[in-house]
Amino acid sequence: MFSYLLRRILYVPLIVFGVMLLTFVLSFVVQSPEERARGILDKKATPAAVQNYLHERGYDKPVLINTSPNAPWHDSIFCNEMTNLACLRLGKSDITGESLREKFASGACPSLAITLPAAVLGLFLAVSLSLYLVLVRYSTLDRLGTIGCVVLMSVVPMLYIFAGQSLFASDLKWFPVSGFDLTQWSGVRFLILPILIFCVINLGEETRIYRAVFLEEIARDYVRTARAKGVDNNRLLFTHVLKNGLIALITLVVAHLPLLILGSLLIENFFGIPGLGNLLASALQSGDFAVVRVSVFLGALLYQAGLIATDICYALADPRIRLGDHQETESATPWPWRRLALLALCAYPLWLALSFLAKSFSSFQDGAIPATIAKVFANHWFQNFLVLTIFTATAFFLYTNARNEVWHRALTRLRRDLIGLTAGAVILLYLFIGALETLQWPDKQGDWKSVLSYLTASIPAEETYSAPFAKVLLTKPTKLHGTHPLGTDALGKDVLVETLRACRTALLIGGLTSLIYIPIGTILGLASGYFRRRTDEVITYFYSVVASVPTILLLVAIISVLGKSFLSMTCALAFTIWVGVCRLIRGETMRQSGSQYISAARALGQTHWRILTRHLLPNVMHLVLITFILGFSNLVLFEVILSYLGVGLPVGTASWGAMIDGARGELTREPVIWWNLAAASGALFGLVLSLNLFGDALRRAFDPKRG
Amino acid sequence: MSTTPILEIRNLAIDFATETGTVEAVKGISFSLMAGETLAIVGESGSGKSVTGLALTRLLPEPPAIYRSGQILLHGNDILKMAPRALRSIRGAKIAYIFQEPSTSLNPVFTIRSQIAEALHLHRPDVQDIDAEVIKYLDLVGIADPQKRLHDYPHQLSGGMQQRVMIAMALSCQPELLVADEPTTALDVTIQAQIMDQLRELKKRVRMAIILITHNFGIISGIADHVAVMFRGKIVEYGTTREVLSNPQHPYTRALIDCIPQLGAKRRRLTTIDHAALEATSQ
């Protein structure tokens, strides 16, 4: 175990190096410091001012290696940046020039004041709730509880904050609306509401996962032995199952504990808590990339610390793993020397290639390639074609697979699952609305308009706000042109139409991202699980690097560099999210590769390609489908959260995220304008909930342990 | 042997509700058991023998199990009508179990001492020196140097030792009936023999009834007094071990006995069981 731990610790620099390389490429290659400087200073800043700004921060040095004879070779951005981070010299803010070390040190305490109690309370609540659900397992109460969890996790986090603030702070006045003060005891009242909301945001998901863990434990043989001994239900659950279950929970919980220092972006921003989350949020608004870079670096470092803590806790808690025993756990990684050497050899050519690519990309920035791609994507015939193809492909895929034994049984089961079917029908409805907005047709003037705009052409625009079914405008007694069942927004657009139009955005983001990340994750997972050895090492390294940066941080970093656009959001999401499906498929492929039918196929002399496509892929395909559905709901939520954080889609795109973002200011108006928020979050909730329920139904239908 | 039965099963029928309809696992069986008697229930997989064993203290998860009809009388009290609390006071204390797979049947995160002590704590709260009592039973089942083994975790023991711990745990509450559900199936052949010897030895030393559930006719001779042969949820043949082994009446029993490979016999293909034909004859 000690040697294992040592190897784990030695592996950390390798991963952190990967993360640093990633952030470096993002911050100095994909977007050059000059561009950022122009963005920060002013559009009209003189070239001299920009140069001065760059010189102050050392960004005017050569990117990789200093070739000038008067300076040492390592006096470049890359070398300085790497050595600084490696020595934990966090540098200065790009904007104010303040020391980031001080900023981060002073922000950690307020962040922890919220997240630590919230995590402890949340863990306690989730474990108790899930144990209770397991106690009454398979009863109506359990079913209701599980659905309740799915409902809780389908609500967009901002809504909890809105609701909590307006109910407990504004209306009931139990807690202050926002603020922070830790210098005296009365400051605790500022903490209670954020802590509670933080708990509730994660409660549904955690309870559901823990319930699954405990259910798995309760099906084990030792439980039957204990029952045969005459142990009662409570003791069974709280002694036998709890202890085994908690050991299983260590992997789920401990790795994320150090990340609590980074705080919560949303909550700190809302409640005005001067923590690290707030620091990051304001850095995003002002374009201070130094803060983002350091956050990503710290996040990776903390996550690695969490993984090591997980291993130690595991060894302490599980009697089967003893210090001194050699035990490979799931996160096991072999001795990294060979990889280190390999990486060192590859690093330089890789670096050159990357910088070359980036150079050529930046010279095309306003030119040919992206513009051509954009033109193709904007072509309406292309879009019509794409939508119809996807529908046909899905139908064909389901039809061909339905002949497969496993799929056939799952379909039969699904047909009897009322909740799953309803959820599926709702998803189809959303797809239909999305298709209406996507399919376009030229009108008499030759302008392309979506089918949805033809259908809603009779609904006229107003001047500004009006309440649902109102006859006059909200602010003045001007008569309305038409009836608006969900009212109108600030620009007088009908909220219902806007909500329906935003369907397309959500579905497109989810769909396009899935189109990229699902094939990549599946192929890499299959390859790494089937070929093992070096292939596995390389792929595992890549996903360890990506996984060690907290998802939201990485997303924010990528999008703030690539700029707000449809394509950049899709790329950022795909780049961040493929890790999950890759890991899942890798594990399952490894399990399947060990089974007899693969050995038999190999003994028959079948090619790798044939084994992969004919034997392995069909046997992991259902997992891909389930991940796709459940991942889709996450993508939709991410779009909204990112739009809310100000790194979402370009202004003017119809999106639920933008509507919810806009509602933040409107809620404080008098009279309260609630319909905008209600419509967007309602539509979002409907889609996410149906996706989650449908994914769950699929999982149940494909569960081999059933029936 | 006394003359009144300690356990009497009358017309027991158990169903399982599955997605594809109800499966009748046990279709109305009856038998009785005297104190100190050993009954072997023999049958192939899926014949309902393990279900019968688990049903004795209602250990089957409900749902999907449904006790459709019948009675399980322990000293004249119907177990199927008992309240959960009364049921728990029977489990382990009156009827104890040994299961098939010792490596998963013991809780991996508790020491063997605490697992045996738990049984003692539940059913014999008057025991003062728990360590001494645990050691006594570990010694009884033939674990060498039990003092040293007390604080071991299950994974530190071999499969045979784990099964001995299971037996010690079952015996520690001095039950009247021990249900051994395929106790040797998961063990290798030499350990099987040791465990069966152990059970035979214990049967002499501790006066308790045993229900031995197995698919293997080979291991029951020398331990079982009576044999019940189960086929498709019914008892198709019942008798003393000697009678059944030497003169099997039902074609299924004959087929099962034919399945046992014999040392020194002429090499031949082992018999298989033709279910269609058997089904036709037993209707």
Interface pTM (ipTM) of the complex? 0.84
What pLDDT, on the 0 to 100 scale, is given for residue B31?
Answer: 87
Give the pLDDT score at B30.
Answer: 87
Q: Does A139 touch chain B (CB under 8 A)?
A: no
Measured between CA atoms, how close is A704 to chain B, in angstroms?
A: 13
Geometric angle at alpha carbon A490, from A489 and A494, rounded to 5°: 30
Contacts of range A582-585, beta carbons closer than 8 Å, 24 or more positions apart:
A582/A520, A582/A521, A582/A522, A582/A524, A582/A525, A582/A528, A582/A539, A582/A543, A583/A525, A583/A543, A583/A547, A584/A525, A584/A623, A584/A627, A585/A521, A585/A522, A585/A525, A585/A526, A585/A529, A585/A620, A585/A623, A585/A624
Q: How confident is the model at residue A323 (pLDDT cuts 50, 70, 90)?
A: very low
Mean pLDDT of A220-226: 86
- Would you call B109 and A224 a contact, using CB atoms and an 8 Å cutoff? no
Same domain, A277 and A422: no
Q: Which of residues 98-117 of B touch A (CB under 8 A)?
A: 99, 101, 104-110
Q: Which of A220, A227, A244 is closest, CB to CB, to B59?
A: A227
Q: pLDDT by residue (tens digit) across B69-79?
A: 888 888 888 88
A96: helix, strand or coil? coil
Domain edges within chain B: 37-50+89-282
Contacting residues of B for A228, CB less than 8 Å apart: 57, 59, 91-92, 96-97, 99
Q: What is the pLDDT of residue B267?
A: 66
pLDDT: which is higher, A75 or A706: A75
**CB nearest to A225's CB, from B99, B123, B153:** B99
Lowest mean pLDDT among A27-41, A419-433, B145-159: A27-41
Checking if the pLDDT of A597 tops 70, the result is yes
Chain A CB within 8 Å of residue B241 CB:
no
Q: Which residues lie closer than 8 Å to A255 by C-beta, 6 or more apart?
A: A303, A306, A307, A309, A310
**Contact flag A222-B169 (C-beta cutoff 8 Å):** no
Query: Chain A within 8 Å of B189 (Cβ-Cβ)?
Result: no
Task: Flag if B88 and A232 touch (Cβ within 8 Å).
Answer: yes
Domain CATH code at residue A216:
1.10.3720
d(CA A520, CA A678): 37
- Which of B88, B109, B118 has the CB atom closest to A244's CB atom? B109
Across A231-236, average pLDDT: 82
CB contact under 8 A, A228 and B89: no
Q: Which of A229, A232, A706 sits opposite B119 (nearest CB)?
A: A229
Confidence band, pLDDT 50/70/90 cuts, at residue A350: low
Question: Cβ contacts (< 8 Å) between A319 and chain B: which residues?
Answer: 108-109, 153, 155
A605 close to B (CB below 8 A): no
From A633's Cα to the closest Cα of chain B, the distance in A is 30
Q: Is the model's pLDDT at A325 over the cut of 70?
A: no
Residue A241 contacts B, CB cutoff 8 Å: no
Task: Please report the pLDDT score of residue A668 as a whole number.
Answer: 67
Cβ separation A707–B20 shorter than 8 A? yes
Residue B104 is nearest to which of A222, A232, A247, comparing CB atoms? A222
Q: Closest residue of B to A232, CA-based?
A: B88
Nearest residue in A to B53, CA atom = A228
- Give the pLDDT confidence of A73-126 residue by residue, as tens digits: 667 777 777 777 777 777 777 777 777 777 887 878 888 888 888 888 998 999
Whether the pLDDT of residue A562 is over 50: the answer is: yes
Report yes or no: B169 at the A interface, CB cutoff 8 Å: yes
Residues whose CB is less than 8 angstroms from the CB of residue B135 and which lie 6 or more positions away in sequence, other chains included: B146, B147, B150
Alpha-carbon distance A537 to A548, whole Å? 16
Q: What is the DSSP string of A221-249?
A: HHHHHHHHHT--HHHIIIIIIHHHHHHHH
Which bin fits A230, alpha (ψ -120 to 50), beta or left (φ > 0)? left
Tell me whether B93 touches chain A (CB under 8 Å).
Answer: yes
Largest CA-CA distance found in chain B, in angstroms, rounded: 60
Confidence of residue B143 (pLDDT cuts 50, 70, 90): confident
- Two tokens at A274? 């001067």
Residue from B105, B112, B116 to probe the interface with A (highest A Cβ count within 10 Å): B105
Q: Does A414 lie in the same domain as A276?
A: no
Which residues on chain B are in Cβ contact (under 8 Å) with A416?
A: 19
Would an 8 Å CB–CB cutoff place B69 in contact with chain A? no
Whether residue B120 has pLDDT greater than 60: yes
CA–CA separation, B185 vs A248, rounded Å?
A: 29
Q: Among A287, A311, A346, where does a domain finish?
A: A287
Count: domains in chain A = 2
From the list B18, B59, B99, the residue facing A707 with the nearest CB is: B18
Question: A369-426, pLDDT tens digit by residue?
Answer: 555 555 665 666 676 677 677 777 777 776 676 667 777 777 778 788 888 888 888 8
Check pLDDT > 80 for residue B106: yes
Average the pLDDT over A318-343 and give the result: 52
Please name which of B82, B173, B174, B176 lies closest in space to residue B123, comparing C-alpha atoms: B173
Chain A residues whose CB is inside 8 A of the B104 CB are 220-222
CATH code for the domain in which residue A620 is found: 1.10.3720.10
How many angstroms separate the CA of residue A188 from the nearest CA in chain B? 40
Q: Is the distance from CB of A624 to CB of A585 less than 8 angstroms? A: yes
CB contact under 8 A, A222 and B91: no
Among A137, A216, A221, A225, which would you mutate to test the B interface (most chain B Cβ atoms within 10 Å of its Cβ)? Answer: A225
pLDDT at residue B224 tops 60: yes
The answer to whether residue A607 is domain-embedded is yes
The span from the CA of B69 to the CA of A393, in Å, is: 53
User: pLDDT tens-digit profile of B31-53?
Assistant: 888 888 888 888 888 788 888 88
Architecture of the domain whose range is B37-50+89-282? 3-Layer(aba) Sandwich (3.40)
The answer to whether A319 contacts B89, with C-beta atoms less than 8 Å apart, is no
Contacts of B91 in chain A (CB under 8 A): 227-230
Domain range for A621 = 402-460+468-702
**Cβ of B175 under 8 Å from any chain A Cβ?**
no
State the nearest Cα–Cα gap between A316 and chain B, in angstroms. Answer: 12
CA B274 to chain A, closest CA, distance in angstroms equals: 26
pLDDT at A74: 66
The predicted pLDDT at position A332 comes to: 42
Residue-level pLDDT at A335: 47
Q: Alpha carbon of A171 to those of A35, A176, A668, A689: distances in Å?
A: 46, 11, 12, 29
Q: Is the pLDDT of residue A328 over 70?
A: no
**Does the distance separating the beta carbons of B108 and A319 come in below 8 Å?**
yes
Which range in A198-202, A273-277, A620-624 is most confidently predicted, on average pLDDT? Answer: A198-202
| B282 band by pLDDT with thresholds 50, 70 and 90 | low
Tokens for A698, please give them: 């699929």
- Domain annotation covers residue A362: no
Contact: A221, B63; criterion CB under 8 Å: no
Q: Give the residue from B20, B56, B111, B118 with the most A CB atoms within 10 Å of its CB, the best one to mutate.
A: B118
* Short-list A51, A61, A67, A106, CA closest to A84: A61
Task: Quickly state the pLDDT bin for A620 (edges 50, 70, 90).
Answer: confident
Beta bridge pairs of residue B66: B15
Q: What are phi and psi of A166, to 5 degrees?
A: -75, -30
DSSP A336: T
Contact between B43 and B230 under an 8 Å Cβ cutoff? The reply is yes
Q: Which of B104, B118, B155 sits opposite A220 (nearest CB)?
A: B104
Tell whether B20 is within 8 A of chain A (Cβ): yes
- The shortest C-alpha distance from B255 to chain A (Å) reads 31
Is residue A249 less than 8 Å (CB to CB) from chain B?
Answer: no
Whether A227 maps to a domain, the answer reads: yes
**pLDDT tens track for A634-676:** 888 888 888 877 777 777 777 888 888 777 777 766 667 777 8
Residues A270 and A418 in one domain: no
| Residue closest to A663 by CA, chosen among A679, A649, A674 | A674
Q: Are residues A535 and A676 both part of a single domain? A: yes
Shortest Cα–Cα distance, B152 to chain A (Å) = 10
Q: How many CB atoms lie within 10 A of CB A92?
A: 17
Spatial distance between the Cα atoms of A222 and A217, rounded to a whole number of angstroms: 9
What are the pLDDT digits (tens) for A55-70?
776 677 666 666 666 7
pTM: 0.78
Residue A40 lies in a domain: no
Label residue B236 by pLDDT band (50, 70, 90). confident
Q: Which of A267, A287, A307 represents a domain boundary (last residue)? A: A287
Contacts of B107 in chain A (CB under 8 A): 222, 225-226, 240, 244
Question: Which residue type is seen at A370?
Answer: P
Under the banding of pLDDT at 50, 70 and 90, the label for residue A326 is very low
**CA A188, A189, A190, A194 torsion-angle sign:** positive
Check CB contact of A138 with chain B, cutoff 8 Å: yes
Task: Let me know whether A505 and A628 are in one domain.
Answer: yes
Supply the DSSP symbol for A466.
Answer: B
Taking the C-alpha atoms of residue B118 and residue B93, their distance in angstroms, rounded to an integer, is: 12
Q: Please indicate, yes or no, whether residues A280 and A411 belong to a single structural domain of this protein.
A: no
Mean per-residue pLDDT of chain A: 76
Q: Angle at the Cα of B249 (from B247 to B251), degrees rounded to 5? A: 120
Neighbours of A600 (CB within 10 A): 11
Extract the tokens encoding A330: 């799931």
Last residue of a domain, one of A268, A287, A306: A287
* Torsion sign across C-alpha atoms A251, A252, A254, A258: positive
The predicted pLDDT at position A15 comes to 80
Q: Are strands B38-42 and B209-214 parallel, antiparallel or unpaired?
A: parallel
Which residue out of B91, B123, B162 would a mutagenesis test of the A interface target, given it has the greatest number of A Cβ atoms within 10 Å? B91
Q: What single-letter DSSP state applies at residue B45?
A: T
